[in-house]
Structure formats: C-alpha cells, structure tokens
A = this chain, B = another copy of it.
Amino acid sequence: MEMAETGIPVRVILDEKEMPEAWYNICADLPVPLPPPLHPATKEPCGPEDLAPLFPMALIEQEVSAERFIEIPEEVKAVYRLFRPTPLQRAYRLEKALDTPARIFYKNEGLSPAGSHKPNTAIAQAYFNKVEGVKRLTTETGAGQWGSALALGCKLFGLELDVFMVKVSYHQKPYRRTLMETWGANVYASPTEMTEAGRAVLKDDPESPGSLGIAISEAVEVAMKREDTKYSLGSVLNHVCLHQTVIGLEAKKQMEKIGEYPDVIIGCVGGGSNFSGILFPFMADKFAGKKLKAIAVEPVSCPTLTRGKYEYDFGDQAETTPLIKMYTLGHNFIPSPIHAGGLRYHGDAPILSLLVKEGYIEAVAYPQTEVFDAGVKFAQAEGFVVAPETAHAVKCVIDEAIKCRESGESKTILFNLSGHGLLDLAGYQEFLDGKLTD
C-alpha cells in the first residue's frame, strides 16, 4: 500500500453556531399531494383528534404541517450540541482503494452517544412530550438502535420509558438492552404477557421470535391505556423524517463550504428516516429542476421498495395504527433475521414511498453477504466500522464508484453513515469466519 496522501482536508466541521435553526419540511414542496393516513375503523382521513391519544399536539401539528421550515426549540438544540453538528467526511482512502474518479462524502451520524442518527428525532420527541406534561413514553425497537436513542432522549428530559424489544433481538443483542437500561429505560422482550396484542401472539405461538409489527402493537396499546403515557415511533412518520433533516441541512452547508454538490445521494432504508434526513434538503432542489440521483438501499430479505406494493396498509401487526399509503410487503410480513435489524420493517415512510412511486428516488436491494463485504472494505479504508444497516448504503456507494471508474465520470457521491457497527460485531465475525448466509 502507498503512503497516505498528505495535506488533504478530510473532515468539514461546522461550528455550533452553524447548526440549523429549523428543520426542513418537504411537505411544503412535494410536487404531488401526499395521501393522508386513514382511520383504521372508518377508513376516513385521520384528524388530529384521532392521533391525540398517541402523540403530543406539537408532533401532530408537525405531522400535518405545510410550513417549509419548523423551528428547532432551543432546548432541543442544547442537547443536539452534545454531538452535533456532525462531521462531513471525505472518503479519500476508499476512493483510492476503489481506484475511482468519484468523490465520496459521508455524514458521520455514528458519533452520537447512541451511535446512530436516531437521537435526532428521539431528543425532539422527548422534548415535545415533556412540554405537554407527558410522564412516560412507550416504543418498540428491533435491533435496539431506536430504543437506545429514545432511552437517551427520555433520560435527558426526565421521562420514563417502556421499550418493547423484538424478542429475537433482545436475546441476540443483549448489549443494546444494557445501553437502554444504562439510560434508565425499562426493556421488555416482545411479545410479552403485558398486553392483549402480545398475549394473542403468544397464544398462537408461544415461541414467537417477535417482529417490529407486534412490538408496535404492544407499545401503542400501553400508551392508549395510560393517561400520562404517549407513544413514540422512530421512523416512517412525517415528523420523524422532519427531525432527521438536520442531517441534510448540515451536509448541504458543509458541501457548500467546499464548493461541492452531490450528483448521487445514497442511504439505507428501513422505515426511511435516515435517508429522508440526508436527502430531503437536497430533494427540494431536484423538485426545482436540479439534476440529482437518489438511491434508497434495502436488503433483499425485506425488499419493500423494490418488490412491495404501493397501497394503504397498517403500520403494525394487530391493525391498530392508522392506515398509511406506502410501499409495503403486508403488515403480517416477517422477514428473515438478518443482522441489519433496523431494515426489517414491512413498510416505508409515506413521503419516501411517494417519491419512489413518482420516480424521484430509485431503489436497489442487496443480500447481506455482499453488504458485509462492503462494510469490511469501508472499515479497512476509512477506519470506521459501520452498522449492517449502513453497510447497505456503503455497498451501493461502492457500486456507484466502480461505475464511475468504468465510465471515467468524476461524480460526487454523498451517503449517510447512519450508525456505527460496534454492537453488531457478531455479524462481522460470522462474515469473517465465512459463516454468514444471505
């Protein structure tokens, strides 16, 4: 190997003062109307009153807002400052390893205390609930990224938290549970005996490994039944994607500083929030005519955007959530237990789904052995070991960079390093030992 090139800038850093003052609400600029969520019983569009048992009014307002920018409260920015602004990094070493003329940039969201982008919305949601007098939140978590982020958010704003963690992950990823408990959350292996939804599943299948859909049903049920308790979702919904735009807003500012603009933006997609977060502030330019390729990356074992149907479906197993128009594999779909637990959701964010349907976003799917191979390549070039979810994006970045090598095009590629893989090393070990299957 050659000596590293010297004197090259690697990270573009923003000062705290340059952190965005407002989130970007893409709904203000959508070229076609977003189909509204429907009430599960009446099938009529949901009103704020339908959502009020689950969410505080501020988040319901954000969910349906048409304002282009929504101010980030000072209290939320104060917590963001623990880890934001995050660096924009240029992957020089990866470029060199791939011998590509492409310029590859990534936003490093893995540097947050919870290790992913999830705190961007967890902190905001905890704050807005706190302001409205909520004492306790409930939520579900798959791999544990979301649960740990919300545990952090709740601890910092003094809320109690009950996390329903998909049982297979609860046992496979004990360290995520530890993280949640370190931040003071109560963690339950879902399905539990605590809820009607959980008991119904266990009656049919006492050995059920659980699923995100089931865990959502449990968390929603508990929130509905308690006066002082609301529910929190870590992806899919408009207000979640909204909070994540802090990533793209920072990235845009950072790229402007060095005179760059992405030709391609890539992100992995489970529920869609991290990709929405980095993409949407740039997508506004695409609506205005700017050339931009956006690629959503998912696992072949949960191919929502590439093989799902665009239709109204429930967000959960027990059919308790509103119906939302999205790409879906069906709300009873249970994907194989791949390591990228955060990508194992049957549906996708309605906004992201609409943009895929309308042709603004492309989607690709990869099997997990290729994904881990890409993760190892990235770690060996750039140092950072990424989450299996993020490695999906990396695989696509590598493919795009190789296309550039073949075509000679010097494209600028931007992707979101949505999380580190330090609590997913069992998957890396399986891959290194040649034992990983697709």
A178: chain B residues within 8 A (beta carbon): 425-426, 428-429, 432
- Which A residues, 129 to 188, have Cβ-Cβ distances below 8 Å to chain B? 130, 152, 155-158, 174-175, 177-179, 181-184
Do the beta carbons of A376 and B4 come within 8 Å of each other? no
The chain B residue with its CB closest to the CB of A6 is B74
**Cβ–Cβ contact A10 & B16, under 8 A:** yes
* Interface residue? A384 (CB, 8 A): yes
Q: Does any Cβ of B come within 8 Å of A3's Cβ? A: yes
Q: Is the CB of A82 within 8 A of B6?
A: no
A13 in contact with B10 (CB, 8 Å) = no
Chain B CB within 10 Å, residue with most, of A1, A4, A112, A184: A4
CB proximity to B under 8 Å, residues A58-86: 74-75, 77-79, 81-83
Contact of A78 among B4, B113, B182 (CB under 8 A): B4
Most chain B beta carbons < 10 A, residue from A3, A9, A157: A3
Residues in B whose Cβ lies below 8 Å from that of A158: 1-2
Q: What does the 1/0 interface line of A1-39 toward B look like (CB < 8 Å)?
A: 111111111110101100000000000000000000000
A-B contact pairs, 6 of them (CB 8 A): A4-B75, A6-B78, A10-B16, A113-B379, A181-B429, A182-B376
Q: Specify which chain B residues have a CB less than 8 angstroms from the CB of A193 in the assembled complex.
A: none
* Closest CB in chain B relative to A343 CB, distance in Å: 21
- A422 within 8 Å of B by Cβ? yes
Complex Cα distance, B376 from A184, in Å, reads 9
Q: Is A382's CB within 8 Å of the partner chain B?
A: yes
Closest to A432 in B: B181
Tell me if A210 counts as interface (CB < 8 A to partner B): no
Query: Do B428 and A157 touch across chains, with their CB atoms under 8 A apart?
Result: no
Per the bound structure, the CA–CA distance linking A182 and B89 in Å amounts to 21
Which residues of B sit under 8 angstroms from A157, Cβ to Cβ?
1, 3-4
B182 and A428 within 8 A (CB): yes
* Bound complex: CA A378 to CA B384 (Å): 25
Say yes or no: is A111 at the interface (Cβ < 8 Å to chain B). yes
**Nearest 7 A-B pairs (CB), nearest first?**
A1-B158, A113-B383, A6-B74, A10-B81, A178-B425, A175-B425, A178-B429
Nearest B residue (CB) for A90: B81
Q: Is A423 an interface residue (CB 8 A)?
A: yes
Pick from B74, B111, B429: contact of A174, CB under 8 Å? B429
B181 touches A78 (CB 8 A): no
A385 within 8 A of B: yes
A-B contacts besides A6-B78, A184-B380, 9 pairs, CB < 8 Å: A3-B75, A6-B74, A9-B81, A13-B13, A152-B383, A174-B425, A175-B426, A182-B432, A422-B422
Contact A380 B155 (CB under 8 A): yes
> Do the beta carbons of A383 and B13 come within 8 Å of each other?
no
Tell whether A271 is near chain B: CB-to-CB under 8 Å.
no
A 365-390 to B, binary, CB cutoff 8 A, 1 in contact else 0? 00000000000100110111100000
Q: Please tell me if A93 contacts chain B, counting CB pairs below 8 Å.
A: yes
